Amino acid sequence: MKFDTIIIGGGLSGLTAANVLATKGQRVAIITNGQSSLHFASGSFDLLGYDANGKEIEKTLEAIKYLNAKHPYTKIGAEKIALLANEAQVLLNSCGIQTIGSAERNHYRITPMGTLKPTWISIKGMATCKMGEKLAHKKVALVNIAGFLDLPTNFILAGLSNCGLNIELKSIHLKEFDYIRRNPTEMRATNIAKVIHDKNLIERIAIEINKLSGYDTILFPAVAGLRNSTEDEMLRKLVTTPLYYIMPMPPSVMGVRVAMTMMNSFKAHGGVELVSNRINGGKINDGEVQYLTADHLPEEKLKADNYILATGSFMSQGLVSDYEHIFEPILNLDVHASSNREEWSEESVFEPQAYMNYGVATDSKFHPFKKDITITNMYAIGSVLEGHNHIKQADGTGVSLLTALQVTKDILK
């Protein structure tokens, strides 16, 4: 099989690069092995939320200028970030994912634990507030579906009360949810979203919510609109009080929607997805990838002019470790990591963990190295990259989007 570009990994970074290249007429293949971390997504996209000392960042573009030399944003160039951030929003919108916010200033999103965290852009309809906004005058109803346990209501009530909100818990009951309620393992956000798919049910949900009066805002779990935004927009229009969504525990309806809509857009432009295929190796010669091989295509050599490694970090097995080493498992690319295992982590789980900064080493154009030799027709993007801690810095989705966009510019030259 021969393509213009082969992308290993179907997460946010891989889908971003794939959509850009496919819309420009390239023959592109995404090779995926299972689901991506988008299934754990928050409904928002982070650019840079915290500095090196853990302090919240409001003016994002200014803070990016002071990042370390290995950070992906530094390799892109701080002067390019604003333009790429805008391009990312345009791309998401073209895929059917409307967002609010800008790279100029962060805003707050609400976590399932009821805490506020700085973020860059949020999917339209998600509950957000401006950093520094006073919330004391707001009277809010947190409305849950009876039997839905993945919305930690006690934590949300406590957290938002501490922020000054006058918030009360309410619940609604509809017979359509009785079947999945029989088994708690089926009462998940994505299962509920599969039930909330027709106009009549959405109207009945709205009727139940509209029985609540005297509130400035309704907060409702993000369980509507698995395939697109039609259902969640309809519910918001039918409820007479302003309604916003709050993210429950994973799986994430909003994240699955992002994955599905971006993949559908990619395929609509002629892209090819090879699903449930694990890339198990390949051949590198004279600083170029010659081909890749896959588990379920044993007789095929997957060839392309360019290759993009978008396999993610440890959770996605883009990076793996044994008792002595941390390594990239497909082509054994160079990884910057301490050789002393004791330096990989700190005793306290809440401390910055060194291993979170480990990743594939690249040059300024995101070409990876193997034994210090640059692989000129391969690029590494997203969470597999070294030089940033997406947990402590809240920059994971931004790194995925912006490195993908930057790499596509180089490929399309």
> What would the pLDDT profile of 377-397 be if each residue is shown by its tens digit?
999 999 999 999 999 999 999
Predicted confidence band of residue 352 (pLDDT cuts 50, 70, 90): confident
SS3 call for 100:
strand
Report the alpha-carbon distance of residue 92 to residue 94 in Å, rounded: 5
Is the separation of the CB atoms in 325 and 370 below 8 Å?
no
What's the pLDDT score for residue 136? 65
Give 324's contacts (C-beta < 8 A, 6+ positions apart): 339, 341
Residue 344, burial from CB neighbour count under 10 angstroms (0-12, 13-18, 19+)? middle
Give 175's contacts (C-beta < 8 A, 6+ positions apart): none
How many CA atoms lie within 13 Å of 411's alpha carbon, on the beta-carbon side?
Answer: 31
How many CA atoms lie within 13 Å of 87's alpha carbon, on the beta-carbon side?
Answer: 17
Task: Give how far the C-alpha of residue 14 lies from the chain's centroid of Cα atoms, to the nearest Å.
Answer: 11
φ, ψ (nearest 5 deg) of residue 312? 80, -175
Query: Per residue in 269-324, pLDDT tens?
Result: 999 999 989 999 999 999 999 999 999 898 899 999 999 999 999 988 999 999 88
What's the pLDDT score for residue 324? 87
Report the alpha-carbon distance of residue 246 to residue 381 in Å, rounded: 30
| Pairing of β 297-309 and β 378-380 | parallel
Report the alpha-carbon distance of residue 413 to residue 411 in Å, rounded: 6
Pick from 285, 321, 318: which is nearest to 303 by CA? 285
Taking each helix axis from N to C end, the angle separating 199-210 and 230-238, rounded to the nearest 10 degrees, works out to 40
Query: Per residue in 325-344, pLDDT tens?
Result: 999 999 999 999 988 888 89
**What's the rounded mean pLDDT across residues 209-219?**
95
- Counting runs of H as helices and runs of E as strands, what totals does the chain give? 12, 23
Select from 2.60.120.380, 3.40.140.10, 3.40.1010.10, 3.50.50.60 the CATH code of 2-97+257-412: 3.50.50.60
Residue 184 pLDDT more than 80? no
The tokens for 134 are: 């006073």
pTM for the whole thing? 0.94
Specify the CATH class of 127-246 in words. alpha beta
What average pLDDT does the structure give for the chain? 94
Query: Per residue in 11-67, pLDDT tens?
Result: 999 999 999 999 999 999 999 988 888 999 999 999 999 998 999 999 999 999 999
- Specify the length of the chain in residues: 413
Give 146's contacts (C-beta < 8 A, 6+ positions apart): 171, 172, 173, 177, 181
How many CA atoms lie within 13 Å of 12's alpha carbon, on the beta-carbon side?
Answer: 32
Say which range, 106-115, 339-348, 367-376, has the weakest mean pLDDT: 339-348
**What's the rounded mean pLDDT across residues 69-73?**
97
Query: Per residue in 255-264, pLDDT tens?
Result: 999 999 999 9
Measured CA to CA in angstroms, residue 379 lies from 17, 56, 279, 332 at distances of 11, 31, 16, 14
Long-range contacts of 26-29 (CB under 8 A, 24+ apart): 26/411, 26/412, 27/3, 27/270, 27/272, 28/3, 28/4, 28/266, 28/270, 28/271, 28/272, 29/1, 29/3, 29/5, 29/271, 29/272, 29/273, 29/274, 29/302, 29/304
**What's the rounded mean pLDDT across residues 111-117?**
95
Residue ranges of the domains in the chain?
Answer: 2-97+257-412, 127-246
